């Protein structure tokens, strides 16, 4: 009898101690990036192995039949942390009381489309989503913008959600960061886990600046600077940079589809670091508000910086030496972002 009561007590205690589910919305949820992403979120790779999840899948009305298939697959995975899956095309449902928003959906650039037309279409989308976040989401929501042009879309979403702290918005440059890590690792013949503190500065575009002047590589049990480990300055200042900058286009050329698996992995890395923090002595790259930065970057931008994260708050890593080579590339990508911002804000005001 005592054993039965003890067992019942332990069961009740375990149930009572289970964490409250968090609500996570993914937009563009019927797309290929989301298809690679949702399983990882639902099985606990991002928000923790003991964190129940309510997953909200938001997409446009024509994609709802596809979403039904995605819901069936998630149900058929029988994942213990997945409490509920909610497919919807309504922002008031999608953004209601959410803890995390991963905004993957955006208007893709079509053949013959001018960049300003792409910006105009996306300003409309991210103004709507920002306003919905402002109206329906928790004020503590963490928002990650993935849909391109990610930096400027993130800026528009944030400006359209004035009641949510600007620090809660970030855009994805972790894919570029991971690409840079991998290129250095392959060049040195080590695992990518042996490379740390690469930096992506600026825009998630072909003007981004992958910088390894502060990176470290663990080679044969000893830590070296990336330049010392690679032993090829010309490559690091030339083909390495262009390879990372153009990697997305190279994937499209090879696959006839844009990066999905690697983008999903980068999203998981980014959100996990927001939730659990970065490792001591390490920093990662994310697009964040430039206000108060010590690198002379214009303040009203979402710009990719090296950041460290603790208690779900990021801080730009200050005091890194910037040489003339880096300065020119950091300023060039900032100039592109200023132009994008000004065009987008012009559309936003109309």
Determine if residue 91 is labeled as part of a ligand binding site: no
Determine if residue 122 is labeled as part of a ligand binding site: yes
Determine if residue 341 is labeled as part of a ligand binding site: no
Determine if residue 272 is labeled as part of a ligand binding site: no
Determine if residue 26 is labeled as part of a ligand binding site: no
Determine if residue 327 is labeled as part of a ligand binding site: no
Determine whether 204 is an active site residue.
yes
Determine if residue 203 is labeled as part of a ligand binding site: no
Active-site residue, from 204, 213, 214, 270: 204
Q: Return the HEC string of the chain.
A: CHHHHHHHHHHHHHHHHCCCCEEEEEECCCCHHHHHHHHHHHCCCCCCCCCCEEEEEECCHHHHHHHHHHHHHHHHCCCCCEEEEEEECCHHHHCCCCCEEEECCCCCCCCCCCHHHHHHHHHHHHHHHHHHHHHHCCCCCEEEECCCCHHHHHHHHHHCCCCCCHHHEEECCHHHHHHHHHHHHHHHCCCHHHEECCEEEECCCCCCEEECCCCEEEECCEEEEHHHHHCCHHHHHCHHHHHHHCHHHHHHHHHCCCCCHHHHHHHHHHHHHHHHCCCCCCCEEEEEECCCCCCCCCCCCEEEEEEEEECCEEEECCCCCCCHHHHHHHHHHHHHHHHHHHHHHHHHCC
Determine if residue 232 is labeled as part of a ligand binding site: no
Residues tagged in the binding site annotation for substrate: 109, 115, 148, 179
Active site amino acids: 204
Residues tagged in the binding site annotation for NAD(+): 59, 122, 146-148
Residues tagged in the binding site annotation: 59, 109, 115, 122, 146-148, 179
């Amino acid at each position: 009898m005592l054993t039965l009561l003890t067992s019942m007590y332990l069961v009740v205690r375990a149930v009572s101690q289970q964490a409250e589910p968090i609500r996570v919305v993914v937009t563009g949820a019927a797309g290929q990036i989301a298809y690679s992403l949702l399983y990882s979120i639902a099985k606990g790779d991002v928000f923790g192995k003991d964190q129940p999840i309510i997953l909200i899948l938001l997409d446009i009305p024509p994609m709802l039949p596809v979403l039904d298939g995605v819901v069936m697959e998630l149900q058929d995975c029988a994942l213990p942390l997945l409490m509920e899956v909610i497919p919807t095309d309504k922002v008031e449902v999608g953004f209601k009381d959410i803890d995390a928003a991963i905004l993957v959906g955006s208007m893709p650039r079509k053949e013959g489309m001018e960049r300003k037309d792409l910006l105009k279409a996306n300003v409309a989308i991210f103004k709507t989503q920002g306003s919905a976040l402002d109206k329906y989401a928790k004020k503590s929501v963490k928002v990650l913008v993935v849909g391109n042009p990610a930096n400027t879309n993130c800026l528009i979403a944030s400006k359209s959600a004035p009641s949510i702290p600007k620090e809660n918005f970030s855009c994805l440059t972790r894919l570029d960061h991971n690409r840079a890590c991998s290129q250095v690792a392959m060049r040195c013949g080590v695992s990518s886990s042996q490379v740390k503190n690469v930096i992506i500065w600026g825009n998630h575009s072909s003007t981004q600046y992958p910088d390894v002047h502060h990176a470290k590589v663990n080679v044969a049990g000893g830590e070296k600077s990336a330049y010392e480990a690679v032993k090829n300055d010309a490559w690091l200042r030339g083909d390495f940079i262009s390879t990372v900058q153009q990697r997305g286009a190279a994937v499209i050329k090879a696959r006839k589809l844009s990066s999905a698996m690697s983008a999903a992995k980068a999203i998981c890395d980014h959100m996990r670091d927001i939730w659990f923090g970065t490792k001591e002595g390490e920093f990662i790259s994310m697009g964040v508000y430039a206000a108060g930065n010590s690198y002379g970057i214009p303040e009203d931008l979402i710009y990719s910086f090296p950041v460290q994260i603790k208690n779900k708050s990021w801080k730009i890593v200050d005091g890194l030496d910037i040489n003339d080579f880096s300065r020119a590339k950091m300023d060039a990508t900032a100039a592109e972002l200023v132009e994008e911002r000004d065009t987008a804000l012009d559309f936003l005001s109309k």
